[in-house]
Structure 1
Amino acid sequence: MSPLLPLPELNQTFSDIPSSLHWLLSRQNTTPNHFQTSTVIVASVYFIIVLIAWNLPILRDVIAGLKLFTVAIHELCHLTIGLLCGGQVWSICIDPNDGGATTISGLMRTTPRVPNNPYALPTMAQLYWSASAVATLSAGYVGSSIVGWLFIVSGLDIVASKIAALVIHIGMLVPILRADSWVAFGSIIICEAVLIGLWFGDHGSALRYYVLFLGVMNLFYSVWDYIDEALYDKRNSSDCSQFSHLLGWPRAGWAIFWFIYEALVFTSAMFAGIIVFRRSDEDMYAEASHFLPT
C-alpha cells in the first residue's frame, strides 16, 4: 500500500509544525499597540455614554434608531430559540422606549413540578417551568452579548469594522419598516446618514467607533433593560423580571448575574481583538485603503 503522502512531502509537513507553533504562540501576546489601546479606552467609555444616552429623555430619542436595532436583535434571539424549542409565536413587539416583548406558547411543562419546599409557595410559572422556557428566555441576553462581542472584536480592525458596518446598514433598514413615529423614523435616517458619512473619512477608519458603540449597546443589553424598567416602569418588563417570575430569586439578583456575565464577555472581546488583529497602524490603513475604498 502506498503512503498517503510521499516521504519528501511528509517530511516537509512535519518541518512546518515548529513554524506553525511559533505563529500560534506569537499571537498570545496580549500587549496592545497604540491603536488597540485607544480602542479599548473608547469602548470602556462608551458604556457610560450609552448608559446616559439610553435613559436621558432627549438623548434616548436621538438614538432611537440604534435602540430599535438593538432591541430587534434581542427579540430575534428569543424568537429563534423559541421556534427551535418547538414553541409557537403569538406576538412580537419592538419599541425603542418600551423595550421588546415576544410571546411564545408551548414551552412550559404540562404537569407541575413537585416543589422541594412545600412551604415556599411557588408561583404557577415556577411550578411549570421547563428547560425550553429557560433556554428561550436566556437566548435574549446571550444572543445580544454574542452580537456585541462580534462588533467589539471587529472594532479593533478597520477592514473588519467595514464588514460589520455593512451588516449594521442592512440591519438598520429592517426596523425602519416598523417605525410607528416620526421620532423613530427620523432617528433611523440620521443614524444611517452618519454611518454612510463615516465611510468617506480616512478610508473609513472612523467606522470602528460606530461599530464599537453598537457593540457595547448590544453586549450590555441587560443593564439598559433593567434600568429602563426601574426608571420608567416600561410596558414590557425586563428579562430580569421574567427570570425572577420563572425561577425565583430577586430581580436585582438576576441583573447582577447578567452584568457579571456580560462584563466577562466584554473582557474576552477585548483580548480576542488584540490577539487576532496584531497589525501595525500602517498595515491596517493600507488594507482599508484597498477594501471598498472611498
Structure 2
Amino acid sequence: MSPYPSHVVTGPAESSTVTLHRFVARAADSTPNQFQTNTVIVACVMFVIILIAWNVPILREIISGLKLFVTGCHELSHLVVGLLCGGQVVSICIDPNDGGATHIMGLMRTYPRVPRDPYAMPTYSQLFWSSSAVATLGAGYVGSSIFGFLFIFCAFHIVASKAAALVIHIGLLVPILRADHWIAFASIIVCEAVLIGLWFGDHGNALRFYILFVGVMSLFYVVWDYLDERLFDKRNTSDCAQFSELLGWPISGWAVFWFIYSGLVFTAAIFAGIIVFRVRPGQTRPSEKLIQISQRTDEQMYSEAAKFLPTR
C-alpha cells in the first residue's frame, strides 16, 4: 500500500502536472503588454513593406539575400519530403527573381487513373498524380510556414531572437557560395552586415525586428510566389500553378487557400509568442498594474539577453 494519499501526485507526474498548470495559467491571461503589442503592429506593417519591396524592381534586388534564404527554406522542404517519399532528386534551382524549382523523379504513378467522367479531358499530371507527389508539393508552403512561425515566435523575445539569428546567419552563408551574380552576392553581404550590427546593438534589442521581418517573409511565401508569376511571368512556376496542374483547381483558388492557411499560422505564432514569453507565474503581485508588469517583463528580458552570448 502506498504511504501517500491517493489524491497526492509525486515524482515525474507531479512535475508534469505543475508544468501544465503553469502553462494553463499563462494561457488564461493572454492580454499582450506594450512590448508585445508593438511587435504585432510591426509584423503587420512588415507584410506591407515586403509586399512592396518584393515587387518593385530596385527594391527587390536589395533584398535578394533574404529572398534567397526564404526560397532556400521553401525548396529544402520540398527536398526533405520528396526524399522521405522515395523520390530521386534531379536538380534544385534557387533564384531570387525566378523563384525556386526542385525536380524529383519517382513520385508519380506508374499507371494512369481512370477518370470518373468518361468525357473528361484530364492532363498528364492529373492522370498520374500520387499522394507522394501531392505531399512533396504541399511541403513547400507548409515548410515555409513552419520556418515563419518559428521566426515570428522567437521575435517576441530577445534571447530567442539571438538563437534564430544564428540559423539565419548560417542560412545566408550557404547561397553565397553559389551566387552567380554580383547583386545577389552584395545583397547577402549587406544582410549579414546588418544582422551582425543589430546583434551588437543594445544587447540585440533591435535584432528581433530583423528576425520578425524574415519570419513574415517566409510565412507568407505563397503571396510572393503567386505575385511573381502573375506580375513578372517568372521562369519557375509557382506551387499554386503546380497544384492546379496536378489536381485541377484554379490557380487563384489555390493561392487563396494557402493565403488563409498562412494567415492562421501567423495568428498562431502571435498567440504563442504572447503566451509563452510573459512574466513567469508567481512573479506578479495582485497590486501591480499592467504597465508595471510590462516594465518588469522588459527588464527580465533585457537581463537574460545580456547574459546570452553577451555583446558588451
Q: Distance in 2 between matches of 1:124 and 1:152?
A: 40
Report the alpha carbon displacement of residue 19 of structure 1 after superposing the two structures with TM.
5.4
- Runs of 4+ residues deviating >3 angstroms: 14-22
Counterpart residue type for residue 157 of structure 1: H
Taking structure 1 as the reference length, what is the TM-score of the superposition? Answer: 0.95
User: Is the partner of 2:93 in helix, strand or coil?
Assistant: strand
Q: CA 1:226 to 1:20, structure 2 compared with 1: closer, same or farther past 3 Å?
A: closer
Q: Distance in 2 between matches of 1:82 and 1:57?
A: 33
Superposed, which structure 2 residues align to 1:140-155 within 5 Å? Answer: 140-155=140-155
Q: Distance in 2 between matches of 1:197 and 1:31?
A: 32
Report the alpha carbon displacement of residue 120 of structure 1 after superposing the two structures with TM.
2.2
Q: Distance in 2 between matches of 1:96 and 1:236?
A: 11
Look up the match of 2:300: 283
Structure 2, unmatched stretches of 5+, are 280-296
User: Is the partner of 1:271 in helix, strand or coil?
Assistant: helix
Counterpart residue type for residue 56 of structure 2: L
Is 1:247 aligned to 2:247, yes or no?
yes
Report the alpha carbon displacement of residue 17 of structure 1 after superposing the two structures with TM.
8.1
Report the alpha carbon displacement of residue 11 of structure 1 after superposing the two structures with TM.
4.2
Taking structure 2 as the reference length, what is the TM-score of the superposition? Answer: 0.89
Superposed, which structure 2 residues align to 1:88-127 within 5 Å? Answer: 88-127=88-127
Report the alpha carbon displacement of residue 199 of structure 1 after superposing the two structures with TM.
1.1
Look up the match of 1:87: 87
**Superposition RMSD in Å:** 1.9
Q: CA 1:46 to 1:125, structure 2 compared with 1: closer, same or farther past 3 Å?
A: same
Superposed, which structure 2 residues align to 1:137-286 within 5 Å? Answer: 137-279=137-279, 280-286=297-303
Q: CA 1:12 to 1:105, structure 2 compared with 1: closer, same or farther past 3 Å?
A: closer
Report the alpha carbon displacement of residue 15 of structure 1 after superposing the two structures with TM.
7.7
Report the alpha carbon displacement of residue 212 of structure 1 after superposing the two structures with TM.
0.3
Counterpart residue type for residue 208 of structure 1: R
User: Is the partner of 1:72 in helix, strand or coil?
Assistant: helix
User: Is the partner of 2:236 in helix, strand or coil?
Assistant: coil
Percent identity, aligned pairs only, is 70
Q: CA 1:15 to 1:193, structure 2 compared with 1: closer, same or farther past 3 Å?
A: closer
Structure 1, unmatched stretches of 5+, are none
Report the alpha carbon displacement of residue 152 of structure 1 after superposing the two structures with TM.
0.2
